[in-house]
Amino acid sequence: MKQYDVIIIGSGLGGLECGYILARKGYSVCVLEQNRQIGGCLQTFRRGDAVFDTGFHYVGGLDEGQFLHRLFRYFDLLDLPWHRLDERGFAEIIFHGKSYFLASGHRRFADTLAESFPHQRGRLENYAAFLKQVGDNISHSFQPGDKHAFSAESLFSRSAWLFLQETVSDPLLRQVLSGASLTMELCPEKLPLYVFAQINNSFIQSAWRLRGGGALITERLAEGIRRMGGTVLTDAKVTRLLTKGNAVQAVAYNRGEQLRSRYVISDAHPAHTLSLLDEQAAARSAYRNRINHLPNTYGMFTVHLQLKRNTVPYLNRTVYIYKEEDVWNYYRYRPQAKTTAALLHFQPPPPGETCAGNMDILTPVHWEEVVSWCDTTVGHRGEAYNRFKEQKAEECIALAAEKIPALKQCIEKIYTSTPLTYRDYTGTWNGSAYGIQKDYTHAMLTVLPPQTPVANLFLTGQNLNLHGVLGVSITAFFTCAKITGMENLVKELKVES
């Protein structure tokens, strides 16, 4: 039986980054991916000449001196074809036909919004300054015993919604400031301030798309793992974690093939990870029950549009359209609700071209909307499911047409995906867009540590700390530090205390 230092379950961004970190530190690494394609939610798919992203759309904080730049320098990802979004407005928020722009740079961000809300200028400056301090202190998360006012530990226990109420007095401005947050689940009763502030701040720092799609990231990481002597296997579905006492001895995959390992890292959902343990005693029932009952965030319905050539001008920003007054209300499941919110994403065209070749329209979808088809497989879900997708797609396109009036006449082909699609192709638990729902009133229970009750079994990925590219990348270092120690990793990242 072959033996590795570390076996990693799942080749999403977190799994591959852990593999890269540990292979770089000299550990023998094997990544096991159950699907044919690596990458999890960073997968892409091709239809004709068009390349569509599965779950990746844009990243923040990638400019020189910003924290994602430091992380991506470590992972050798800086020379990918990154494309900076419009600094005058990386996001356009549309309420009832009126547009508000979120600009890059904290000063420009406040000045731009103050043109529409001059009576809120001082409050906007305070809001931007607070977000900047949260972002500037992100490196302190890598230092032991950090408990200052802007630490993750402190802000995970504060309410994002209450912070907005206290900081901004204009109700419409509060909605605008939350308008780019279809990148997270806005739940007023639960969302921690740290999640809201850190993610929004990263985009205000700088916002970037990737020409060619998110798969370029995971392909580069996999190449790096292999170059450093590691292994990445696809079509390798982990079926059991074989334990002895309080440790994993071996990992079984496919039809009983086994690999031995000193450590195991799971990039899968924590509930799925625990279901793989062959001995219930390896993790007590209280821990299992707690993990199994943690709620997950909603999923996304996506309309992937292949556009007719030279018909839709490329927009170098992300557009958010809302038909309801309160963007903090979409976390609630409402049966038969019409589509009233959409995110419009454009894949950057080849250099020199000014029109978009394809675009995505995303809107929140709850698991309850598709649960009746949860026992079906791709291509075999029936006519009722197809009708559901067709209706949802029509609603999304109609909403997007408020920004692009001639959109319907510009469409070549339509493709759709639901939380079931994400579940089946990426292994995402219940098709959740952002993993386990974090709760500031129960931060210690919902912000999970990498260490499990099993001595050599660790977790990584969006379910632990922050979701998104920045959050998952930070979490990968926290996970690997459980094996290597944080001190050496901090030195390699050049993180200042």
Mean of pLDDT over the chain: 93
Same domain, 95 and 159: yes
pTM for this model (two decimals): 0.95
Domain closes at, from 415, 431, 447 = 431
Residue 54 covered by a domain? no
Domain co-membership, 276 together with 253: yes
Please check whether residues 221 and 304 belong to one and the same domain.
Answer: no
Q: Which two tokens stand for residue 93?
A: 């928020």
Mean pLDDT by 10 residues, the chain (497 residues): 94 97 97 94 85 90 95 97 97 95 98 98 98 90 61 86 97 96 91 95 97 95 98 96 92 94 96 87 82 94 95 97 92 88 94 93 95 91 95 96 95 95 86 94 93 96 92 95 90 68
- Are residues 182 and 324 located together in one domain of the fold? yes
Q: What pLDDT was estimated at residue 147?
A: 56
Asked if 311 and 391 sit in the same domain, the reply is yes
Measured between its terminal Cα atoms, the distance across the chain in Å is 43
Q: Do the beta carbons of residue 431 and residue 420 sit within 8 Å? A: yes
pLDDT for position 146 = 55
Question: The CATH number of the domain where 473 resides is what?
Answer: 3.50.50.60
Domain end among 431, 446, 464:
431
Phi, psi values for residue 308, rounded to 5°: -65, 145
Is residue 205 domain-shared with residue 84, that is, in the same domain? Answer: yes
SS3 content of the chain, % helix, strand, coil (to 5): 40, 20, 40
The Cα–Cα gap between 460 and 452 comes to 11
Residue 257 shares a structural domain with residue 240: yes
Span 260-292, pLDDT tens digits: 999 999 999 999 999 999 877 677 888 889 999
Same domain for 436 and 451, yes or no, is yes
Q: Would you give the distance in Å from CA 456 to the centre of its chain?
A: 26
Tell which of 431, 457, 475 closes a domain.
Answer: 431
Question: What range does the domain containing 334 cover?
Answer: 79-211+296-431
- Same domain assignment for residues 166 and 307: yes
pLDDT at 334: 87
Q: What CA dihedral angle connects 454, 460, 462 and 467, to 10 degrees?
A: 130
The pLDDT, as a whole number, for residue 254 is: 95
Which pLDDT value is given to residue 150? 56
| Residue 57 forms part of a structural domain | no
